[in-house]
């Protein structure tokens, strides 16, 4: 797919199960194990579950836009290639920067999460005090655990997509197994009295809904992997929607099991709430450690998937000379975008020094990037339906006007939540992360537009889409 052009040398390594494991495993990271208790406390058990039902429905509207666009333009880059085909150069840059920010922002919290998980199972001796962030003391010994894991994840991505796929599938199975044990313990050993109150208030409900985009981001790594899929195009839409539904079910089950397993004070004030809840339900600290094993699988699948996706977005822009071209280099042996992988790995590794209290910063800031990404993809869907009606679409959604309108509503609704006008706006440090990323990205993009100004629109289409897909639309690219 999009491999005709000699410059497209990414290796087709993903089977159907690999793609599903990549999407589901990427969505299910560490947030649920730290935040399930907080969600229930904020909105009540049914309030939190309802927030995820609504979130899933809203994400499915966006997912339907992806479902039509991905098999129609199955090229590495997802939002980058969709936006370029529909709206041209600079909208594509904005979509790509937003997507990369969303992915790298989520990957950034996985390092501190990994060290926190290991510390729970086998306490890390506090050696070499560094600093205190958000009330949490960061030590060299603790940070080193996260840094080592980050280097290993980066190395796996550097080596090749097949290694990523095998690792993702095994870790996802481990995650599902532990999750099933947790739900079983909540049902058989829990107490329904722990689940009260079912609802709290609208402010609490909004605070849970605010985090939903970051918890669902991950299904969109499927478009990022399009250039490396060995999957029939007609299967892609089903995989997209199935992955969203599977993640929604997971989050709802984890909220239910957390509430059933332990009283509020355990699941809200424990060192790792879900693990403490599982230990409480089973009556043994051993089961808390078992829960953490599953959590580690979730951390690694999410970390792996977002590092993979972020590198592909950056590669797509750089390969098309919309970012400095050295980021578009493909390894001659491994067939991976090595410099893009290394950039994402370096940023992920740096975040390992920030401590576990930085989790909420990255959750909320990356969610803002997700909203921009979703908005750009839905706009691409609408524009291409109008301006490229004859583009070959292996899958066409029913009621495209409804899907487009609802997709725009979803993006605007979540955008409103993050602004000062919404109930749970981003705080200063989160806005700083957003602003710094986009300023740095636009500086690089402006530099690239000047340096590669002789690249014609036709040449750039070939770089983005290959010969086959560059000519599939009657949309004129400006």
Position 6 confidence tier, pLDDT thresholds 50, 70, 90: very low
Query: Average pLDDT, stretch 298-321?
Result: 87
353 or 268, which is more confident?
A: 353
417, 207 Cβ separation under 8 angstroms: no
The values of phi and psi at residue 333, to 5°, are -100, -45
The values of phi and psi at residue 265, to 5°, are -65, -30
CA dist 208 and 200 (Å) reads: 12
pLDDT tens for each residue of 101-146: 988 888 887 888 888 888 888 888 999 998 888 777 888 999 999 9
The values of phi and psi at residue 34, to 5°, are -95, -25
Position 7 confidence tier, pLDDT thresholds 50, 70, 90: very low
Sequence ranges of the domains in the chain? 16-470
225, 312 Cβ separation under 8 angstroms: yes
Find tokens 């690249």 and name the residue.
455
pLDDT tens for each residue of 314-363: 999 999 999 999 998 888 887 788 899 999 999 989 888 887 777 777 77
Position 35 confidence tier, pLDDT thresholds 50, 70, 90: confident
The string of DSSP codes covering 345-413 is HHHHHHHTTS-GGGHHHHHHHHHHHHHHHHHHHHHHHHHHHHH-TTS--SS--SSHHHHHHHHHHHHHH
Q: Report the topology of domain 16-470.
A: Amino acid/polyamine transporter I (1.20.1740)
Instruction: Tell me: pLDDT of 430 over 50.
Output: yes
Look at residue 477 in the predicted model and tell me its pLDDT.
37
Position 309 confidence tier, pLDDT thresholds 50, 70, 90: confident
């Amino acid at each position: 797919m999009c491999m005709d052009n000699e410059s497209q040398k990414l290796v087709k390594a993903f089977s159907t199960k690999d793609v599903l494991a990549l999407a589901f495993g990427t969505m299910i990271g560490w947030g649920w194990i730290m935040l399930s208790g907080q969600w229930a406390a904020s909105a009540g058990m049914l309030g939190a579950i309802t927030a995820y039902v609504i979130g899933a429905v809203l994400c499915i509207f966006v997912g339907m836009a992806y479902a039509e666009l991905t098999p129609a333009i199955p090229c590495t880059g997802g939002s980058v290639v969709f936006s370029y085909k529909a709206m041209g150069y600079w909208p594509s840059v904005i979509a790509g920067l937003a997507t990369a920010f969303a992915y790298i922002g989520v990957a950034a919290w996985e390092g501190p999460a990994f060290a926190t998980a290991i510390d729970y199972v086998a306490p890390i001796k506090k050696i070499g005090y560094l600093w205190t962030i958000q009330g949490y003391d960061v030590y060299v010994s603790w940070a080193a655990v996260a840094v080592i894991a980050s280097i290993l994840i980066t190395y796996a991505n550097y080596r090749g997509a097949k290694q990523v796929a095998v690792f993702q599938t095994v870790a996802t199975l481990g995650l599902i197994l532990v999750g099933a044990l947790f739900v079983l313990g909540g049902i058989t050993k829990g107490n329904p009295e722990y689940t009260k109150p079912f609802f709290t208030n609208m402010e609490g409900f909004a605070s849970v809904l605010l985090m939903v985009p970051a918890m669902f981001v991950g299904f969109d790594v499927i478009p990022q992997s399009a250039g490396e899929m060995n999957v029939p195009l007609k299967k892609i839409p089903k995989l997209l929607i199935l992955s969203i539904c599977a993640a929604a079910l997971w989050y709802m089950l984890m909220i239910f099991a957390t509430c059933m397993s332990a009283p509020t004070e355990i699941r809200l004030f424990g060192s790792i709430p879900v693990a403490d809840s599982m230990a409480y339900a089973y009556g043994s600290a051993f089961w808390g450690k078992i829960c953490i094993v599953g959590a580690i699988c979730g951390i690694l699948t999410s970390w792996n998937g977002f590092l993979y996706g972020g590198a592909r977005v950056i590669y797509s822009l750089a390969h098309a000379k919309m970012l400095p071209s050295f980021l578009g280099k493909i390894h001659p042996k491994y067939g991976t975008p090595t410099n893009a992988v290394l950039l994402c790995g370096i940023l992920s590794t740096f975040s390992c020094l920030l401590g576990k209290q930085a989790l909420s910063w990255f959750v909320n800031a990356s969610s803002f990037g997700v909203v921009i990404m979703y908005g750009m993809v839905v706009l691409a869907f609408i524009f291409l339906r109008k301006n490229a009606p004859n583009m070959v679409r292996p899958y066409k959604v029913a009621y495209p006007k409804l899907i487009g309108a609802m997709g725009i509503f979803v993006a605007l609704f979540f955008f409103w939540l993050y602004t000062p006008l919404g109930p749970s706006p981003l705080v200063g440090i989160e806005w700083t992360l957003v602003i710094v990323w986009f300023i740095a990205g636009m500086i690089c993009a402006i530099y690239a537009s000047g340096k590669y100004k002789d690249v014609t629109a036709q040449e750039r289409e070939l770089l983005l889409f290959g010969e086959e897909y560059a000519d599939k639309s009657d949309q004129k690219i400006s």
